[in-house]
Amino acid sequence: MKNFDLFEKKLGLSFNNKDLLTQAFVHRSYLNENPEFGLDQNERLEFLGDAVLELVVTEELYKQYPEKAEGELTNWRAALVNAKMLTRVAEELGFNDFLLLSRGETKELGKARQYILANTFESLVGALYLDSGYKDCDVFIKKYLIKHLSDIIATGSYKDAKSHFQEQAQDKDGITPVYKILKEWGPDHKKKFTVGVYLKETLVTEGEGYSKQEAEEEAAKKALEVKNWN
């Protein structure tokens, strides 16, 4: 069993219910090989944590940047809570050492692992919310995630491909892009998606990813290249 006391000490956390902390790291695949483990997988915690995370980030941006318009704040928030950023923070905090995965998933180190790390970050926030409440989540998220906002603003990385493609499509063609799921496959714990991006009825290109958002972003990147709008 993983030593979550070390994890708490490293991050300055103190869970009253240690099972909640452990459950935050239980991937669905682990229970397939360990059905008698005694704790559920982390997807319900992820669902809760996603909402708490978005509220904390939204509230902080709203308070700290009263002069900024909704559109810019929305882009900043998206850059903070997307899978790429959550994966980066989870890696910085050593989540890889505590994940409870199947033997097969343990060997996966590419996009699939990144997706698991991002989801686990949300699961941990959900567990922390249930264990200690909103205030502790607020402190945790500001300490480890929102601190990256200054870099996001300085580098302009909040200007994701999807937003860029929408701006270009509206400016050049007067059309708002529409994204449609064309295909989804794979087991529930590692589902993949193919998404098409359309201008009116015309399919511009397709993108794949381990989430709908990732597939949409990939489709937008390709669409920028296809239309030569980079």
**Is 105 noted as a catalytic residue in this protein?**
no
Taking the CA atoms of 167, 71, 52 and 106 in sequence, report the sign of the dihedral they define.
positive
- Domains recognised in the chain with CATH numbers: 4-155 (1.10.1520.10), 161-226 (3.30.160.20)
Choosing from 46, 60, 122, 218, which is the catalytic residue? 122
- Give the H or E element holding residue 6: helix 4-11
Residues 111, 117: Cα–Cα separation, whole Å? 10
Average pLDDT for runs of 10 along the chain of length 230: 89 95 95 92 96 97 92 86 92 95 82 89 98 97 94 77 86 91 86 94 93 89 90
Choosing from 46, 50, 138, 160, which is the catalytic residue? 50
**What confidence score (pLDDT) does residue 95 get?**
96
Tokens of 18: 């240690």
**What confidence score (pLDDT) does residue 152 get?**
85
Tokens of 110: 């590419």
pTM greater than 0.85 (yes/no): no
208 CB contacts (<8 Å, ≥6 apart)? Answer: 192, 193, 194, 195, 215, 218
**Is 160 noted as a catalytic residue in this protein?**
no
Residue 185 pairs in a beta bridge with 192
**What confidence score (pLDDT) does residue 3 get?**
87
